[in-house]
């Protein structure tokens, strides 16, 4: 999918493949040409037909089909099934001249699945969200709950899985079968769990975390690999802002650097950015560093407190080594990067996969989940103070950091793809 959060996780994998002398063609949206070229891969833009099919998935309007069950089903079909014929057309066009050994795709993997059924190459999936499986221990997709440990909790999870698959995902699977039939695949995919099985590769599925930050469960197949975090590439030409020395010297000045970000998708600043600025304005021992696409607008429209600095973008690899707490709406890549630096978190977000990410923050002990899209400034201030004042959150974040450091995510992705491609 042509979205920044997806691109960032795939970048280090593509870069590592190129380092190992593999030829990599990367098909994505035109806006990401420079991000692809930075990895050494060959950039191929999605066709206008593909981009047209992906546009609904890139919209932050979650109510375009209304509300309720039928709207949810329509949205899922629009996001995951509608692009299938257009992407397959482009896959087949590319593969006429480029004989790929394997495809690497994200959660929008249905075109790769159908292409494989049509005789195309193997494909692997790389997750851009927490790992959900249809087992009683694990809450269903979108849940903010912890894994179940009692028989009642497991039973309730299982019932919710069955209801979701029966009422919602089976309809998405029906839509997929219609598209498959148009391509000559007359044998439908059947079973109440048919669609969830379609959403990850049966040959190789990789999750960019470790079990230090994932719910324990039984029955994980050998095709699933927890590879460790994939750190985003630094990029070139980054210029430090004039105030950057305040960050570097913060510790000796007795300042706690607190960072707030809403990532790159759900970026409405009134949800988290503005309440956080209000919460921490004037706090003598805090320097709040804000990154948001709305930086210019906020600097113009708001009276910025003396202890707040706002930028459109800062490289996390440089910033997070100085940060004491990160406030996030629950973007998976950003959370994994923060934990790679041992930074504890305050999470506030419920849309897309964010409730699941934030629940893992709280479950692991690496931070606090505020369980809302729109936290008030008092709640934010209390959570930040709790994380700053209680060393247990930092200890857990550092323990996860130590576990992450034992893994080389990009190298493991590369090795896993090589093994999968060579053992057909």
pLDDT in tens, 91-113: 999 999 999 999 999 987 899 99
CATH H superfamily, domain 244-405? Glycogen Phosphorylase B; (3.40.50.2000)
pLDDT tens profile 324-339: 999 999 999 999 999 9
**What is the DSSP secondary structure assignment for residue 293, as one 8-state letter?**
T
3 state SS of 365: coil
Residue 404 in contact with residue 215, Cβ under 8 Å?
no
pLDDT tens profile 136-158: 999 998 899 999 999 999 999 99
Which residues of the chain are in CATH 3.40.50.2000 domains?
4-228+407-422, 244-405
Q: Which of 175, 1, 163 is CA-nearest to residue 73?
A: 175
More confident residue, 4 or 36: 36
pTM: 0.93
Q: Which CATH architecture is the domain 4-228+407-422 placed in?
A: 3-Layer(aba) Sandwich (3.40)
Strand partners, 347: 328, 369
266 pLDDT above the threshold of 70: no
Sign of CA dihedral 396, 399, 404, 405: positive
3 state SS of 103: strand
Label residue 69 exposed, middle or buried (CB < 10 Å: 0-12, 13-18, 19+): exposed
| Token code pair at residue 134 | 């249809």
**CB-based contacts of 2: which residues, under 8 Å, 6+ apart?**
28, 29, 31, 32, 46, 51, 54, 58
Spell 212-250 as b/e; 16+ CB within 10 A means b.
bbbbeeeebeebbbbbbbbbbbeeeeeeeeeebebbeeb
CA atoms within 13 A on the CB side of 150: 3
422 pLDDT above the threshold of 80: yes
When pLDDT is averaged across residues 356-361 and rounded to a whole number, the result is 98
pLDDT band at 168 (very low <50, low <70, confident <90, very high): confident
Whole-angstrom Cα distance, residue 150 to residue 229? 31
The pLDDT of residue 98 is: 95
DSSP string, 129-149: S----SSTTSPPTT--PPPP-
């Amino acid at each position: 999918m042509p979205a920044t959060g997806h691109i960032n996780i795939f970048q280090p994998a593509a870069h590592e493949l190129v380092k190992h002398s593999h030829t990599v063609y990367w098909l994505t949206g035109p806006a990401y040409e420079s991000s692809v070229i930075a990895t050494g891969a060959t950039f191929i833009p999605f066709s206008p037909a593909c981009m047209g099919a992906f546009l609904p998935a890139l919209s932050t309007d979650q109510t375009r089909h209304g509300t309720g069950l039928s709207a949810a089903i329509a949205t899922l079909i629009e996001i995951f099934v509608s692009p299938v014929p257009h992407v397959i057309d482009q896959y087949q066009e590319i593969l006429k001249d480029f004989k790929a050994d394997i495809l690497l795709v994200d959660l929008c993997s249905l075109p790769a699945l159908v292409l494989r059924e049509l005789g195309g190459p193997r494909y692997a999936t790389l997750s851009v969200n927490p790992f959900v499986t249809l087992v009683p221990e694990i809450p269903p997709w979108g849940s903010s709950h912890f894994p179940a440990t009692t028989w009642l909790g497991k039973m309730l999870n299982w019932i919710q899985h069955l209801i979701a698959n029966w009422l919602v995902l089976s309809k998405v699977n029906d839509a997929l079968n219609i598209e498959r039939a148009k391509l000559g695949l007359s044998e439908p995919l059947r079973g109440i769990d048919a669609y969830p099985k379609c959403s990850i590769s049966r040959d190789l599925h990789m999750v960019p975390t470790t079990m230090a930050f994932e719910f324990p469960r039984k029955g994980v197949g050998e095709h699933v690999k927890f590879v460790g975090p994939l750190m985003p590439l630094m990029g070139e030409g980054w210029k430090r802002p004039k105030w950057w020395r305040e960050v570097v010297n913060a510790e000796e000045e007795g300042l706690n650097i607190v960072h707030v970000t809403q990532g790159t998708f759900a970026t409405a600043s009134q949800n988290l950015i503005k309440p956080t600025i209000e919460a921490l304005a004037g706090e003598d021992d805090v320097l709040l560093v804000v990154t948001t696409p709305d930086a210019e607008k906020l600097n113009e429209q708001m009276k910025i407190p003396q202890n707040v600095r706002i930028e459109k973008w800062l490289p996390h690899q440089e910033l997070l080594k100085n940060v004491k707490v990160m406030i996030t709406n629950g973007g998976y890549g950003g959370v994994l990067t923060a934990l790679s630096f041992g930074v504890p978190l305050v999470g506030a977000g419920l849309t897309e996969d964010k409730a699941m990410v934030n629940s893992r923050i709280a479950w692991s002990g690496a931070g606090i989940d505020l369980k809302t899209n729109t936290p008030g400034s008092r709640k934010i201030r209390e959570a930040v103070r709790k994380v700053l004042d209680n060393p247990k959150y930092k200890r857990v974040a550092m323990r996860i950091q130590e576990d992450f450091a034992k893994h080389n995510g990009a190298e493991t992705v590369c090795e896993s793809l090589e093994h999968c491609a060579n053992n057909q």
